[in-house]
Chains A and B, each alone.
Chain A
Amino acid sequence: MRLNKSGLIASHGEVLREGIRDGMPIALGYFVVAFTLGIAARNAGLSPLQGFLASFFNNASAGEYAAFTVIAADSPYLEMALITLVANARYLLMSCVLSQRFAPDASIWHRIFVGFDVTDEIFGISAARPAPLDPYYNYGAMLVALPGWAGGTAIGIMAGNALPPAIVSALSVALYGMFLAIIIPPARVNRVVGAFVLLAFAASFAASVLPVISELSGGTRTILLTVVLSAIAAVKYPRKDEESET
């Protein structure tokens, strides 16, 4: 990667700014969620620095929460590896999607740095943009989202439960609001997407109350439903090659 900063800002500044703009609600939502995650980290015995590093390199709420319970229980390292793998497996799928959004000649460094922070939210906003993916958009979002997440965890460890519940409750829907802003406009334009969004809502609700499947962790249910519903959509309504990305 070239480190000529003035050149970078000149050629990518606009996209970087768009990434920062769309990353702001993510950073806000992350800060609140990470703050409560910090309380779990504190109970597991992590210092603020350790919590900061765990969140900087993982940026995954369910995955980190599961990992902190492993630390708290003093379980074997292998268990840590397995739990992290299961809780974060959906990122594998998202990384596959993004691999197809990159221009085939995109450098390996851009692929590594974009891969570094494939979260539900950053995946959502970058997948909503037309291909080919511009890594500087992701970098802009990461620039605010990562400090929000890692800083929130560290402050959560230091401060404990300090935010009033009304504020936590209100801010905790910020991330869902963002998901809606990503999926609803294409659902309006593309009937198949619209139908499958509604189907996904219904199936997800059913999976959360039905016996057996509701026993699975949230992350595993998400993968299962995503793979099954996307496969059905792909078989029944395959995309023609000339169709542009919605």
Chain B
Amino acid sequence: MTHSIWIYLLVMSAVTLAIRILPLTLIRRQIKSRFVRSFLFYVPYITLAVMTFPDILHATQTPVSGMLALIIGALLAWLGASLFKVSAFCCVVVFIAERFLVG
């Protein structure tokens, strides 16, 4: 090993923190452009949706249990269940489903 793990940690942390902190500190004013404002309004929902599916199918031992968690989680969220409830129910659904699905 010719490289130092400590310097690796320094480099990765510096890059990550710069990515996270620079826009927040450099963009101090409200953006006026209607396009940019609309764009930034839609980003959170679209990016979280992109990250949820199909990834949830690969997170579990079988895709079926992930799919069940997605359907029941979405239904509970639609009915207005809290963040914690939706999250906990998804875990319970996978645990129960895999008792039958995974031998």
Q: Interface residues, chain A, CB within 8 Å of chain B?
A: 21-22, 24-25, 29, 45-46, 50, 53-54, 57-58, 60, 63-64, 67, 70-71, 74-77, 80-81, 84-85, 88-100, 102, 104, 108, 111-112, 114-118, 120, 123-125, 127-128, 165-167, 169-188, 192-193, 196-197, 200-201, 203-205, 208, 218, 221-222, 225-226, 229-231, 233-235, 237-239, 241, 245
Contact = CB atoms under 8 A, between A and B. Distances in A.
Contacts of A177: 69, 73, 86-91
B52 A201 contact: yes
Contact of B88 (A25, A203, A239): A25
Interface SS of B by simple majority: helix
Contact of A84 (B11, B30, B46, B60): B11
A67 to B, nearest CB: 5
Given A77-B3, A115-B21, A124-B44, A176 B84 contact: no
Contacts of B23: 92, 95-96, 98-99, 115
Contacts of A77: 3, 7-8, 11
Contacts of A111: 21, 24-25
Given A176-B52, A234-B35, A241-B34, A125 B83 contact: yes
B44 A97 contact: yes
Interface of B: 1-3, 5-9, 11-13, 15-17, 19-31, 34-56, 59-61, 65-66, 69-70, 73-74, 76-78, 80-95, 98-99, 102
